[in-house]
Structure 1
Amino acid sequence: MFKQSDPAPVPAAGLAAALAPFGTSRMLPREAYVDQAVFEWEKRNIFSGWHCVGHAADLDGVGAQRAVGSGASGILLVRGDDGAVRAFANVCRHRGHELMPCGASTKRRGVVCPYHAWSYKLNGELRNAPGFDQLDSFDAAEFGLTELRLVDWHGWLFVDPSGLDGDFADHVAGTEEIVGPYRPEDLTVVARHSYELATNWKVIVENYQECYHCSSIHPELSRISPPTSGENIEMPGNWMGGWMSMIDEAETMSLSGRSGGVAIKGLSEQEQRTVMYLVGFPNLLVSLHPDYVMTHTMTPLAVDRTHVECAWAFPREAAERPGFDPSYAVDFWDLTNRQDWAACESVQRGLSSPHARPGPLALQEDGVYQFVTRVARAYAGER
């Protein structure tokens, strides 16, 4: 994340309390979760840098197009004739009309604005502007789509709309050796669930970053993975997270502990007995299992509303097996997700009270501290 010029509109004393040493710190100021001005600041200063916009596999074949985000964060993803995915601002160079509505997808040999039929090549160059061919002063080369920085990393697409964030290698520093062995780019997404939550995006990440709540609301998860197991790790980039172990009888995270798929090849003994939970700041949650990889991609819609897409990816030899049923993983995590979503929405309602005050962190919430201090430093204009 790049250095900001305008600190976030949150109380300085509240930031100082959140940045205090672990064991004495507090949660972020209430304004961070309920104030529209803070949400607008986050869109300009956090989500304008590197963030995940989806899976490369979603753009299947030359001409595949997908629009993500809207307004200032509107992005058009396009797979070109050369097979590469590119990101463009979702803005026609004529009158600014969106090239595609948010969430829409299509597949065609070019990009066409639905307003006045300006069309573009898959590489963003202007192909045709109806009526302008009669103007000698019109130079088509000046009106190509605005291309944005994009990186395909292990099959996940990351975009830096501002063009001002640091090198992507710095963003993922320390993460390659953790994610690489699972080879997510070689897995096949078999199932997806979409959720729209009445909560701030940060509440979702904070919930994901601790299992202090697991014994209270996740009896199924707690039977397979002891809530007190594992530990969090420090990484030099913009990722954070930690691992949890499974009971000896379990093969994976499912209601029975059994796997209905196949193990990901090449994993270490430790990786076969644990689940690694990572946060790709700000909006990608990655859960690395012995036999599948699950992701949650968050899109903030409002200060108190977030869209979450959950995707489950399995080794091809499992996904292509006749009769393969991913429900052993999907049903387990859909149940767990819904338990979490109810808690997150209740937290949001509680924080909406004028009587809410930032609380302390338990020793089991060091992962929450990782995230809260990352956000607090961003609010203060630091890396």
Structure 2
Amino acid sequence: MTAPEISPPLDAILQEIKATAALPLAQAKTLPREAYADEDYFTFERDNIFKKDWMCLAHVSQLKTPGSYIALDLFDEPLLVIRDRQGIVRVLSRVCAHRAIDIMPDDDAFPREGEARLLVCPYHKWVYELDGTLRGCTQMHNAEGFDKADWKLSEFRSEVWNGFVFVNFDGNAMPLAEQYADFDRDIAPWNVADMEIAIELEWECDFNWKVMVENWMESYHHIGTHAATLNVNMPGELTWSEPEHPYFLHAHLPYTDKLRGELRASQAGGPAVPGFKWIEGLSETQAFEWGLFTGFPCFMFLTTHDRALWYRLLPVAADRCLLLTTTLVSKEAKDAPDYQEALASETEMPNTFHSEDMVMNAAVQRGLRSSKVVRGRLSHLEEPVWLIQRYLAARADGRYPEKANRAPYHGPRAMQAAE
């Protein structure tokens, strides 16, 4: 009988991640399998990365009216993202202040999204206002010294940045306006706070959260995974990355000259190109590429000439995460006469390439479980994977990477710098 395989201790995993991240890009290789499969390391990430940094939960277009809410669970915390009567978006705990029940049990009678006038605990009918304050609690008049003002639903620290609702569990993260200041400048022309989610797709993923983020950020895989879909108009070999930033990643995936020509002709009154009404105020560089972003640790955002994409990623375990993929469009696009036609045609496209990614990501996780898995080398096109490694290594030491003061290693700006 073969003895069960034993993972190395957590300290050994952390040291190997740091050693791997210290390699220059030209010598870069993949992380040890334990970084994707070891539950002790996932627990370390939960406590030292996810709970200390910002996690994105919602977009304000999902919470349009007072009382509109989204209920979700993250790291054993039952959360309620809700807009109160004053229009303030909050992240409340769903744990009743009376007997600790989740006031929205896991049952079809309690929808995960909707609109509420009040928050009512089904156990003993304690009633809370939309901001979490206790409004009513029958049969508590004999409880000595009881004051309703003392018994609110707990609230987590949250911020709204560019229309996205983030939560910070430990309450000590840098304000998003400071942390993402450069990120904000990069995406300002899209005015994302005024965009609306038009398409949503949910996925239960049997793979590690980093498998998803790495796949999101590197477009090298377009050559294989999306050979007949995305790679036709956005060849993987054209992708390039911005220099290292402490708080986010930014990569570029340019369109082909053929697609650029078709889009220019369409804007000039020529044959229509499938899609939504263009985002106004974009430069040609901004319009004619996919702009790929990840705000650490896992806020995935993408810009195009006519829309934005946002992925809500909720890590569950070392080999499991939950994913919501969304498409956001401008209000002008939603008001356009051909919007419904565009929506119908464009809903199929993300489902197709997301499905391609899900197949590959699950296959990566299966490979990571194999006794024959090896530590592969990285292409220069996988620079974002190397940068993610450097973020993980820095967070293992309780810090963030340093902002790089250099030209990009590859791409048009690298060529210009070389000249």
Is the pair's TM-score, using the shorter chain for normalization, greater than 0.5?
yes
- 1:284 and 1:152 map into 2 onto residues whose CA distance is 13
SS at match of 1:149: strand
The one-letter code matched in structure 2 to 1:225 is: M
Distance 1:34 1:259, change over 3 A: same
Q: Could you tell me whether the CA contact under 8 Å between 2:200 and 2:325 is conserved in 1?
A: yes
* TM-score (norm: length of structure 2): 0.83
The reply on whether 1:324 has 2:324 as its aligned counterpart is: no
Measured after TM superposition, the shift of residue 157 of structure 1 is 0.7
Q: Could you tell me whether the CA contact under 8 Å between 1:218 and 1:336 is conserved in 2?
A: yes
- Alignment partner, residue 361 of structure 1: 378
Residues 64-83 of structure 1: matches in 2 within 5 Å? 64-70=68-74, 72-83=76-87
- 2:30 and 2:179 map into 1 onto residues whose CA distance is 24
SS at match of 1:250: helix
- 1:367 and 1:248 map into 2 onto residues whose CA distance is 25
Q: Could you tell me whether the CA contact under 8 Å between 2:244 and 2:387 is conserved in 1?
A: no
Distance 1:236 1:373, change over 3 A: closer
- Alignment partner, residue 339 of structure 1: 356
Residues 2-151 of structure 1: matches in 2 within 5 Å? 10-48=13-51, 49-70=53-74, 72-101=76-105, 104-151=112-159
SS at match of 1:133: coil
Number of residue equivalences: 375
The reply on whether 1:309 has 2:309 as its aligned counterpart is: no
Q: Could you tell me whether the CA contact under 8 Å between 2:159 and 2:165 is conserved in 1?
A: yes
SS at match of 1:69: strand
The one-letter code matched in structure 2 to 1:337 is: H
- 1:354 and 1:364 map into 2 onto residues whose CA distance is 27
Q: Could you tell me whether the CA contact under 8 Å between 2:277 and 2:336 is conserved in 1?
A: no
- 1:71 and 1:91 map into 2 onto residues whose CA distance is 14
- Alignment partner, residue 199 of structure 2: 191
Which among 286, 289, 292 is matched to residue 277 of structure 1?
Answer: 292
- 1:90 and 1:151 map into 2 onto residues whose CA distance is 18
Structure with bigger gyration radius: 2
CA deviation profile, 1:219-269 (whole Å, cap 9, x unmatched): 22111012222421136442112111112332699xx99333211011112
Higher helix share: 2
The one-letter code matched in structure 2 to 1:153 is: W
- 2:74 and 2:139 map into 1 onto residues whose CA distance is 29
- 2:380 and 2:75 map into 1 onto residues whose CA distance is 40
The one-letter code matched in structure 1 to 2:240 is: E
- Alignment partner, residue 175 of structure 1: 183
Q: Which ranges of structure 2 fall in alignment gaps of 5 or more residues?
A: 1-9, 264-270, 401-419
Q: Which ranges of structure 1 fall in alignment gaps of 5 or more residues?
A: 1-6
Measured after TM superposition, the shift of residue 31 of structure 1 is 1.0
Measured after TM superposition, the shift of residue 129 of structure 1 is 2.2
Q: Could you tell me whether the CA contact under 8 Å between 1:30 and 1:351 is conserved in 2?
A: yes
The reply on whether 1:215 has 2:223 as its aligned counterpart is: yes
CA deviation profile, 1:296-348 (whole Å, cap 9, x unmatched): 11112222122111111112222233433224433222222111111111110
Distance 1:312 1:13, change over 3 A: closer
Which among 237, 243, 255 is matched to residue 234 of structure 1?
Answer: 243
The one-letter code matched in structure 2 to 1:277 is: L
- Alignment partner, residue 404 of structure 2: none
- Alignment partner, residue 3 of structure 1: none
- 2:80 and 2:390 map into 1 onto residues whose CA distance is 32
SS at match of 1:228: helix
The reply on whether 1:265 has 2:268 as its aligned counterpart is: no
- 1:333 and 1:286 map into 2 onto residues whose CA distance is 14
Q: Could you tell me whether the CA contact under 8 Å between 2:14 and 2:396 is conserved in 1?
A: no
CA deviation profile, 1:178-210 (whole Å, cap 9, x unmatched): 111111122222111111121111001111121
Q: Could you tell me whether the CA contact under 8 Å between 2:74 and 2:314 is conserved in 1?
A: no
Residues 243-254 of structure 1: matches in 2 within 5 Å? 243-250=252-259
Q: Could you tell me whether the CA contact under 8 Å between 1:25 and 1:360 is conserved in 2?
A: yes
How high is the sequence identity, in percent, across the aligned residues?
28
Q: Could you tell me whether the CA contact under 8 Å between 2:161 and 2:176 is conserved in 1?
A: no
The one-letter code matched in structure 2 to 1:224 is: N
Which among 351, 365, 370 is matched to residue 368 of structure 2?
Answer: 351
Measured after TM superposition, the shift of residue 70 of structure 1 is 4.2
CA deviation profile, 1:9-44 (whole Å, cap 9, x unmatched): 725234312332222233222111111122222222
The one-letter code matched in structure 1 to 2:23 is: A
CA root-mean-square deviation = 2.3
SS at match of 1:61: coil
Q: Could you tell me whether the CA contact under 8 Å between 1:76 and 1:90 is conserved in 2?
A: yes
The one-letter code matched in structure 2 to 1:159 is: V
Q: Could you tell me whether the CA contact under 8 Å between 2:274 and 2:342 is conserved in 1?
A: no
* TM-score (norm: length of structure 1): 0.91
- 1:369 and 1:231 map into 2 onto residues whose CA distance is 13
- 2:356 and 2:114 map into 1 onto residues whose CA distance is 34
Measured after TM superposition, the shift of residue 175 of structure 1 is 0.3
- 2:243 and 2:60 map into 1 onto residues whose CA distance is 28
